[in-house]
Amino acid sequence: MDLFSPEFYVALLSVIFIDLVMAGDNAIVIGMAARNLPKHQQKKAIFWGTFGAIVIRTVFTIAFVQLLQLPGLLLVGGLLLIWISYKLLVEEKKHDVKEGKSLWSAIRTIIIADTVMGLDNVLAVAGAAHNNVWVVIFGLLVSIPIMIWGSTIILRLIERYPVIIYIGAGVLAWTAGKMIVGEKFLKGFFEDRPLIKWGLEIALIIAVLVAGRLKKRKQETQPAA
């Protein structure tokens, strides 16, 4: 993929969109970890906690980009990403984050919580980057400031317009399809059969969205325990 080619921009936009759709939890994690600190320490905890989380997430993502070049891992990553896209639609996330009682404790909590909760995001971004580290770097440079200062707004938009989640899940399923058909030992088969290649990618998107919608509807109709 050439730098600033159409493919580069498509991958870059996919990375940014995935980051934003999956960024809503960041506001909750940061807020819960820092809320018991004095006002003058809250900003420091948020800044340094977020900075540390960003560094770790960037390192993990670049490592995943390199790992996905190993034979077979692109297929495995694609299959995992299908599951992640489905979970994005149906899973009710819990945020059992301990409140920090000191500045360092809050910073540590933000970093650890973001790292654990961000593994899905790391795999999704690595897959969408299509083995291009520059896509990861540019994508993070654009989306990270928005995630830090706009994560609360993003969360409200997702709650107000649930279709955003469905679009995000569709992008993840499409990324998963790209990963699967791009696997080295499958690439030759799909390159000679473009209709099957496109058909698989479209089928994965439809399957994830339909399965997620049916599961969500079932959850909504079940009586509360």
Q: pLDDT truncated to tens, each residue of the chain (225 aa)?
A: 566 677 777 887 887 777 767 665 565 666 666 766 787 787 787 778 777 877 887 888 888 888 877 888 888 888 888 888 888 788 665 555 555 567 888 777 777 776 666 667 777 777 887 777 888 777 777 766 666 666 556 656 777 887 888 888 888 888 888 888 888 888 788 888 889 989 998 999 999 999 998 988 887 787 655
The pair of three-digit structure tokens given for residue 111, joined into one six-digit string: 């970093």
User: What is the Cα–Cα distance from 99 to 101, expressed in whole angstroms?
Assistant: 6
Please tell me the total count of domains within the chain.
1
User: What is the Cα–Cα distance from 141 to 184, expressed in whole angstroms?
Assistant: 30
DSSP class of 224? P
∠ CA(50), CA(56), CA(57), 5° rounding? Answer: 85
Tell whether 50 is covered by a domain.
yes
User: What is the Cα–Cα distance from 131 to 11, expressed in whole angstroms?
Assistant: 10
Residue 204 pLDDT: 92
Residue 152 CA to its chain's centroid (Å):
17
User: What is the Cα–Cα distance from 135 to 127, expressed in whole angstroms?
Assistant: 11
The pair of three-digit structure tokens given for residue 46, joined into one six-digit string: 């948020």
User: What is the Cα–Cα distance from 188 to 184, expressed in whole angstroms?
Assistant: 8
Tell whether 82 is covered by a domain.
yes
The pair of three-digit structure tokens given for residue 192, joined into one six-digit string: 């000679």
Nearest to 51 by CA among 101, 116, 107: 107
Tell whether 220 is covered by a domain.
no
User: What is the Cα–Cα distance from 139 to 14, expressed in whole angstroms?
Assistant: 9
Residue 55 pLDDT: 82
Distances (CA, A) of 71 to 46, 54, 67, 179, 184: 39, 28, 9, 12, 7
The pair of three-digit structure tokens given for residue 208, joined into one six-digit string: 């994830």
Tell whether 141 is covered by a domain.
yes
Range of the domain at 114: 6-213
Tell whether 62 is covered by a domain.
yes
Tell whether 140 is covered by a domain.
yes
The pair of three-digit structure tokens given for residue 124, joined into one six-digit string: 């999704």
Tell whether 1 is covered by a domain.
no
Tell whether 169 is covered by a domain.
yes
